[in-house]
Amino acid sequence: MGGDSRTLRAALRCVVLACAVPWLACTPQQPRPPAQSPRYPRSGDFAQELGFGGGTRHYLLHLPPDYARHVPLPLVLAFHGGGGDAKDFQRAAGLDAQADALGWAVAYPDGSGKLDHRLLTWNAGTCCGEAQAEHVDDVGFAVALLADLARDLDLDRTRIYAVGHSNGGMMAYRLAAREGARIAAVVSVAGPDMSDSFPSGPPVPVLHIHSVDDPRASYAGGESRTLAFISHHQSFRSVDDTLARWRGRDGCTGEGKVVDQRKLESHSAELVDFGPCANGADVLLWRMHGPGHGWPGGHSWLSALVIGPETKVIRAAEEIFRFLPRFSRPDAPPLR
């Protein structure tokens, strides 16, 4: 009887604690999976339209398998290169497989242009093509896209990232420069920072991937022919100058230390770390020798005569998803 009494008293204490302090409940209740959005009833790919700036803009959304179990969802904004489009970039970049493994979403916005879905560009400040010439508000479009997604998805506002290739990398930089309070980290592949202004703001972790032998966006800067308009010449900021402005904003005190090296046949790559930086940020550079302007680890329909040799000395998608999960922005503002 004494043992039964003690058991009863223990059970009563447990009930009292469970009522007073719910997270100490004796029998933990399994949380119910959140309901999937009616707009996104499954995982996979969705083509979307968004009214913005007096017209209609387009983007693709990729949701990971069983996405409702991963909320709030981290999101990568992935900007295609100049002359490309969201669909081709999604096929070539290899980001979806990496995102699926983590339960992240990826949005692929389309740039703008006169030819509907072809030869699309981004207004990255002082580049590129029709978007820059017409002063298209692509930063505003990216912010509006986030708000559009947040109406139907439980996005993790602390884990919004910007990634891009070439002109898309420039766009990712401009978005991070203008909307740094929203962006947890930025990655640019073969695209220098061409922002026309560089306002002060919170540190934004940076990963830059670039070949010293890039024939289209020269590592050393200066005039090069762009891809969207082969006959058009554009003056680019150098990689060193790009990283210098971000090292300054991120409070990095290192001069650049090689922390990793790779070699594959005639191509090589070295990872340079410019840390330590303020507030746990980082500025890293994968500096490649031998490859051209393409997406490392991917395949381009453009000839090597146009963009230089392809490479697998590193795979951009793998390096991106090795970098991004290290960073979040707890003080990010609401998405809508």
The count of structural domains within the chain is 1
pLDDT at 216 over 80: yes
Two structure tokens written together for 255: 């001069």
203 found inside a domain: yes
Task: Look at residue 212 and tell me whether its pLDDT is greater than 50.
Answer: yes
Residue in this structure with the two tokens 């090069």, named with its chain if needed? 224
- The whole-number pLDDT of residue 206 equals 98
The residue behind tokens 């884990």 is: 159
Q: What percent of the chain has pLDDT over 70?
A: 85
Do the domain assignments include residue 116? yes
- CATH code for position 102: 3.40.50.1820
Residue 25 lies in a domain: no
DSSP string, 51-68: EETTEEEEEEEEE-TTGG
- Mean model confidence pLDDT for the chain: 88
| Chain segment 43-101, per-residue pLDDT in tens | 999 999 999 999 999 999 999 999 988 889 999 999 999 999 999 999 999 999 999 99
Q: Is residue 333 part of a domain?
A: no
Angle at CA of residue 322, ends 72 and 301, nearest 5°: 100
Q: Residue 254: which domain range?
A: 55-326
Phi and psi at residue 264, to the nearest 5°: -145, 110
Q: Indicate whether 267 belongs to any domain.
A: yes
Q: What pLDDT score was predicted for residue 265?
A: 96
Q: What is the pLDDT of residues 223-235, one digit of tens each?
A: 776 554 444 668 8
Q: Is residue 23 part of a domain?
A: no
